[in-house]
């Protein structure tokens, strides 16, 4: 008859063997489950993300801004032509709803506005103010200002460059004479078109249709006894200026102040 100690050892070995079988079974089950889950995860793998080039990302990021700039550039490109919404949409290959949305936003921002009694677009007040600020502030950083400095030094007179803005002549760059007493106007100052030398030379360079619009709508205010206030006389004066290539202000704006102006040639473009 086996001893009690031997009997306990036999039972322990039997239990250990059974526990080993159970452990192996669990390991096998776990391995099978892992394989199945692995196959399942492979089958359900997410599709790879579509790669986007940096240029495409930049294009997508600047798309609305780029379209808005293209619309404004088209509107201001030709001073004698104001496009309609349909013409803008066609020229830029934009869907009509997209063109309407962009133009509506630009009008709200003051960058564009509609012509009176027409649906065509022209530059807005905010865009015009921005453009004039750029021209004035950039004047001192370009060669134009250096040329004015040299000219003022040689002539001992005030020299300036101007453009038409808001129905007046505006100085975009100016160098004052060194006289102790002189009329001083800063860049950005404006003077009437009909009685200043710079205003008359600018009007003389416009196409006849555009020139007539200014002559017919300008308020020909009388400043001195020499101010031209008759529209037919102003039209004749501008013809003389165009033929001679030089305009004079013979005390027409301020008593005791005379001036002269010439157009700046830009090659095939209209002078400034």
Mean model confidence pLDDT for the chain:
79
Kindly state the tokens that stand for 183.
Answer: 């009329």
Percent of the chain with pLDDT over 70: 71
Question: Residue 2 pLDDT more than 60?
Answer: no
Measured CA distances, 191 to 40, 94, 138, 204 (Å): 82, 41, 21, 16
Q: What is the pLDDT of residues 225-248, one digit of tens each?
A: 999 999 999 999 999 999 999 999
Which of the pair, 80 or 170, is modelled with greater confidence?
Answer: 170
Looking at per-residue pLDDT, the higher value among 29 and 101 belongs to 101
How many other C-beta atoms lie within 10 A of the C-beta of residue 163?
15
Q: How far is residue 64's CA from residue 22's CA, in Å, rounded to a whole number? A: 68
What does the radius of gyration of the chain's CA atoms come to, in whole angstroms? 40
Confidence of residue 109 (pLDDT cuts 50, 70, 90): very high
- Measuring CA to CA, how many Å separate 203 from each of 102, 171, 235, 267? 34, 15, 10, 18
CA distance 24 to 16: 12
Find which of 26-40, 58-72, 226-240 is predicted with most confidence, using mean pLDDT. Answer: 226-240
Residue 128: pLDDT band (50, 70, 90) is confident
3-state secondary structure of 104: helix
Contact 81, 54 (CB under 8 A): no
Range from 12-21, 94-103, 202-211 carrying the lowest mean pLDDT:
12-21
pLDDT at 3: 53
3-class secondary-structure state, position 158: coil
């Amino acid at each position: 008859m086996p001893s009690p100690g031997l009997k306990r050892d036999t039972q322990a070995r039997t239990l250990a063997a059974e526990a080993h079988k159970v452990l192996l079974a669990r390991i096998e089950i776990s391995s099978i489950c892992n394989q199945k889950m692995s196959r399942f995860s492979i089958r359900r793998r997410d599709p790879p993300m579509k790669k986007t080039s940096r240029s495409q990302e930049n294009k997508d990021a600047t798309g609305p801004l780029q379209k808005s700039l293209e619309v404004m550039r088209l509107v201001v490109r030709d001073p004698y032509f104001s496009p309609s919404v349909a013409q803008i949409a066609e020229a830029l290959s934009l869907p009509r709803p997209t063109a309407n949305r962009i133009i509506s936003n630009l009008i709200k921002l003051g960058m564009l506005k509609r012509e009176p009694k027409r649906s065509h677009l022209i530059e807005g007040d905010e865009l015009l103010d921005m453009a004039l600020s750029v021209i004035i502030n950039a004047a001192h950083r370009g060669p134009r200002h250096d040329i004015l400095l040299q000219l003022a030094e040689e002539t001992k007179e005030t020299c300036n460059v101007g453009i038409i803005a808001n129905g007046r002549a505006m100085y975009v760059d100016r160098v004052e004479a060194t006289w102790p007493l002189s009329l001083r106007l800063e860049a950005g100052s404006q003077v009437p078109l009909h009685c200043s030398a710079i205003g008359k030379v600018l009007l003389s360079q416009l196409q006849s249709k555009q020139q007539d619009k200014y002559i017919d709508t300008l308020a020909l205010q009388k400043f001195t006894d020499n101010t031209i206030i008759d529209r037919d006389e102003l039209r004749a004066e501008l013809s003389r200026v165009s033929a001679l290539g030089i305009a004079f202000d013979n005390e027409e704006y301020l008593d005791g102040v005379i001036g002269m102006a010439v157009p700046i040639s830009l090659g095939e473009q209209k002078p400034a």
